[in-house]
Structure 1
């Protein structure tokens, strides 16, 4: 469990610098330059992610159950993750109404993904992993929206075809993960 916690602190801590220390981040970015900053940020994030994956895997070997979860909740969780995938795609596809309206669809998608997994899973490791991501995404979403308003940030024009593309790509990615990847990677077939 220690490695999972260390990984979460490292990964989410790195991703929280702009939330808690934006002026420091700006100074470091200027001092190091874009390339060095991004390399350091990426290396710390990758190390955190490796620790999360390894630590979560280790914690699953001796799980501490916190509550009983009905089997059908897996289906509910799988359905919750569908819009999470669409929102994730919309975050990186320019000109979607989703991005214009929500502002930060990736964070909204992370919130849905984490909530879905909290509903379907019932161990201490699950609570730490998905609960941490949910809390982080909520806080980052609120801070990011406030920053957007303070900077009077305007969203670019959106086109319905871009939303349709985000939905189609998100649906395809979701189907691929749920049908072919989730069971071999995580040992759980969401609709199996």
Structure 2
């Protein structure tokens, strides 16, 4: 189970980098574009491999995740935020300018809510 969780953290964490243009741009300028993309790909692949290994090791009767009762109350509000972020990705405005990748953040909110509820 720990292998699966570490894989998810690696995979989702590295894919969250493009949502912060300052961090991504700083790393790409410091290491070079090719080295940045290579490291990005390597960490993504390592995370995906750990997810696959962790899922394969999980017992079939084990519950992978227990839903949180409080998440049911929060889910409608978080889903509203996710839909606004999805819409902001296709429009000009403050959210798109500030977040750079609002659809990615909306997808993370959407998937997180579905995992928790």
TM-score bracket for this pair, using the shorter chain length: 0.5 to 0.7
Q: What residue in structure 1 maps to residue 55 of structure 2? A: 56
Q: CA RMSD in A?
A: 4.1
Matches within 5 A, 1:128-139: none
* Residue 102 to residue 59, structure 1, CA distance change in 2 (3 Å): farther
* Residue 102 to residue 113, structure 1, CA distance change in 2 (3 Å): farther
* Residue 101 to residue 58, structure 1, CA distance change in 2 (3 Å): farther
Where relative contact order (Cα < 8 A, 6+ residues apart) is larger, the structure is: 2
Matches within 5 A, 1:1-192: 1-15=1-15, 22=23, 26=26, 28-59=27-58, 61-64=60-63, 66=66, 87=86, 91=89, 96-97=90-91, 100=93, 102-103=95-96, 104-119=102-117
Larger Rg: 1
* Residue 109 to residue 100, structure 1, CA distance change in 2 (3 Å): farther
Quote the Cα distance in structure 2 between the aligned partners of 1:109 and 1:17: 14
Where do 5+ consecutive residues of structure 1 fail to align? 74-79, 120-192
Where do 5+ consecutive residues of structure 2 fail to align? 73-78, 97-101
Quote the Cα distance in structure 2 between the aligned partners of 1:13 and 1:105: 16
Q: 1:12-61, CA deviations, whole angstroms, 9 ceiling, x for partnerless residues?
A: 44346686x939x72x4224310121111111112202312431353362
How many matched pairs? 100
Structure 2-normalised TM-score? Answer: 0.55
